[in-house]
Every structure is written in C-alpha cells, then in structure tokens.
C-alpha cells in the first residue's frame, strides 16, 4: 500500500508524480517550505532579529488559510 504523502504544513496531498521527488519535498510548495523553515527557526532561536516583512506575510497568509 502506498500512502500518499501530504504536506506537513497545510496537509494537502503533494501534487508531485509518484516516484518523482520535487526539490520542495516534503512540502507542496515553496511557501509551505518557508513556513516550516520559519517555524523551525523560531523554535530554535527565541529571539530572531532578522524577521522581515516577507516572513510576517507568510505567517499572515497561513493564518488566513488556517480554517479547516
């Protein structure tokens, strides 16, 4: 049984062809990859002084998509 891989950020099924690994794997998109990267950084470094408006934008978008 092959279980479809889902994006750990948005939990959508990955759009990639079976057996074809994207450079974005295991994320469905560059956006999700960045969100995860930010989460990781945030957990690792309590104080991050280099958060730019792009990251804030990511988090805001994520909130908008948060409703399941």
**Interface positions with Zn ion (CB under 5 A):** 7, 9-10, 28, 32
Minimum Å gap between C-beta 7 and Zn ion is 3
Q: Which is nearer to Zn ion, 42 or 58 (CB)?
A: 58
Element (H, E) at 31: helix 30-44
Buried b (16+ CB within 10 A) or exposed e, 30-61: ebbbbbeebeeeeeeeeeeeeeeeebeebeee
Minimum Å gap between C-beta 2 and Zn ion is 20
Minimum Å gap between C-beta 14 and Zn ion is 8
């Amino acid at each position: 049984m092959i279980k479809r891989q889902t994006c750990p950020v948005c939990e959508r099924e990955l759009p990639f062809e079976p057996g074809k690994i994207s450079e974005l794997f295991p994320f469905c998109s560059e956006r999700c990859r960045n969100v995860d990267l930010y989460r990781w950084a945030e957990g690792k470094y309590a104080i991050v002084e280099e958060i730019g408006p792009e990251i804030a934008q990511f988090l805001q978008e994520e909130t908008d998509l948060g409703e399941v």
